[in-house]
């Protein structure tokens, strides 16, 4: 299995996704980076505009800087919320360095964003039907953008808000997807 790199959401820390990764891939090799920017009581990987819009150029620059400092390959990305958006940026810059991605409660970098060819890279998107920060349409747009770049995208719209589904469906769907794609053996 690839090394899992898990990017936390805004205002969280590097350990925020460790229980999730442990549940979907027990004993896996993992790297849990901390966002380099302080936000609330935690950290984030990029800043949004004051109106909460994403500045694609700024986001992509932060992702470029992150990639330059790390020489990892065959990485399985896991990103939650803004960490999912940061994962999208990494995928858009150097898709060949990644074996796949699990994007939890993501949104597109921009409505007209175009990814480089993904070469059938498997990507799982888990959105929430009652997400107070993201729309279901945002997940559908992202799925379309990734599919247009030849990614093999699976989208599940869970009975959840922005946080975890109460019934453990995030874990169940992610673990099953890892098994189905052959990433987890």
Range in 55-59, 70-74, 98-102 the model is least confident about: 70-74
Does 71 have pLDDT greater than 80?
no
User: What is the rounded CA–CA span in Å between residue 118 and residue 135?
Assistant: 24
State pTM to two decimals: 0.96
pLDDT at 144: 98
- Rounded Cα distance between 149 and 161, Å, is 28
Pick from 170, 159, 172, 176: nearest CA to 80: 170
Lowest mean pLDDT among 37-51, 73-87, 103-117: 37-51
């Amino acid at each position: 299995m690839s090394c899992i790199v898990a990017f936390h959401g805004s205002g969280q820390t590097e350990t925020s996704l460790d229980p999730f990764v442990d549940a979907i891939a027990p004993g896996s090799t993992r790297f849990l980076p901390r966002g380099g920017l302080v936000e609330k009581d935690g950290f984030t990987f990029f800043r949004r505009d004051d109106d909460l819009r994403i500045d694609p150029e700024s986001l992509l620059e932060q992702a470029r800087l992150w990639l330059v400092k790390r020489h990892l390959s065959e990485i399985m990305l896991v990103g939650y919320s803004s960490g999912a958006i940061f994962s999208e940026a990494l995928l858009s810059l150097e898709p060949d360095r990644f074996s796949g991605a699990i994007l939890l409660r993501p949104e597109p970098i921009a409505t007209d964003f175009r990814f480089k060819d993904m070469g059938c890279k498997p990507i799982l998107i888990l959105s929430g039907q009652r997400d107070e920060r993201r729309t279901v349409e945002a997940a559908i747009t992202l799925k379309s953008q990734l599919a247009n770049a030849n990614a093999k995208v699976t989208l599940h719209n869970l009975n959840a808000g922005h946080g975890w589904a109460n019934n453990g469906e995030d874990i169940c769907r992610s673990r099953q997807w890892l098994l189905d794609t052959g990433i987890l053996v």
